[in-house]
A = this chain, B = another copy of it.
């Protein structure tokens, strides 16, 4: 019989419907072939085909937009938001609107077109994570932005349009619904219990030992109790930390390895599925009088984490209509399969 589970942070239920299918091999057909682009604007030597670079790591000579970089950050050539201007919020009758102001950047993670974070060296991954930290810290300086989302779409089914390994950064002038729900719930939990809700989840999971894929000195990798999707993974710092950019060098070195290992487990078990990866960190900090609490210091009531969602099932009318998700693989089983992958 299936089971309904409520996400411990936000008010979202999922149906764990294990009668429908259960083994990793049941999902392999869904994974489509990777897109092949004839010309890659992200490969070294094609630096003139992207907008001028914002940052790079690895190139030692003073020559912007040339090869030699290890990680390179450029504005998205087709940005969904524009960096210039003010947001100008206004009402149109009963409707609310503002100009599409924000940042939309691309982090080209490696010069190699066929590079894969699932098989990367720790040094390569550390550079990528360093670029995440750099972009978050830089964009936070802009008082127009309230929330910064770093994410990675891998594979056509995950929405990737270019094959060359890259992450994206979007800075938003409003706090998005999903982030606000997490922040509100975490704050309410802290106010009631004087503890971080994510820390409580970690302690609960460590006690139950059913959904943990890996736990090391710095990080815990687990399949969330109310996973929406089969083989969904979450990476959290073991000790409380609200801000991704607050990691020290030993944590970054550890995360580089932990993240690569996690992606490697998914790659091997599910034969390189498309996936989405999202970094949730505390929002931009611009304390000003009159701003709601989640704008101020939130050391206590957020806990950064990375979500990895393999694209194995389709979202259909039921999910769109209700916000419920149907997950055919219990996270306990997913964790067991993922743990068993040889690293």
Contact = CB atoms under 8 A, between A and B. Distances in A.
B321 A307 contact: yes
Contacts of A158: 314, 316-317
Interface stretch (A15-23, A41-49, A123-131, A285-293): A15-23
B100 A3 contact: yes
Which of the listed residues A12, A170, A320 has the most CB atoms from chain B within 10 Å of its own CB? A320
Contacts of A87: 4
Nearest to A314: B159
Interface stretch (A59-67, A172-180, A239-247): A172-180
Nearest to A151: B317
A94 B200 contact: yes
A225 interface: yes
B276 A317 contact: yes
Interface string A85-127: 1010000111111111000000000000000000000000000
A8 B78 CA distance: 28
A318 B2 contact: no
A2 B82 contact: yes
A98 B226 CA distance: 12
Which of the listed residues A17, A170, A307, A316 has the most CB atoms from chain B within 10 Å of its own CB? A316
Given A168-B318, A321-B280, A176 B13 contact: yes
A147 interface: yes
Contacts of A28: none
B157 A314 contact: yes
A208 interface: yes
A124 B15 CA distance: 33
A277 interface: yes
Given A153-B316, A179-B322, A307-B320, A3 B174 contact: no
A89 B19 CA distance: 20
Interface in A295-326: 307, 309, 314-318, 320-324, 326
Given A2-B80, A99-B1, A172 B322 contact: yes
A84 to B, nearest CB: 9
A17 B100 contact: yes
Contacts of A322: 147, 149, 170, 172, 176-179
B176 A94 contact: no
Interface string A151-170: 11100011110000000101
B1 A82 contact: yes
A318 to B, nearest CB: 6
Contacts of A6: 95-97
Given A3-B100, A13-B174, 4 more contacts: A1-B100, A158-B314, A159-B317, A160-B316
23 contacts: A1-B82, A1-B99, A2-B80, A2-B82, A3-B97, A4-B87, A4-B174, A20-B78, A92-B208, A93-B207, A94-B204, A95-B204, A147-B322, A151-B318, A153-B317, A157-B314, A168-B317, A176-B324, A276-B320, A278-B321, A279-B321, A309-B320, A315-B315
Interface of A: 1-6, 8, 10-13, 15-17, 19-20, 78, 80-82, 85, 87, 92-100, 147, 149, 151-153, 157-160, 168, 170, 172-174, 176-181, 200-201, 204, 207-208, 225-226, 276-280, 307, 309, 314-318, 320-324, 326
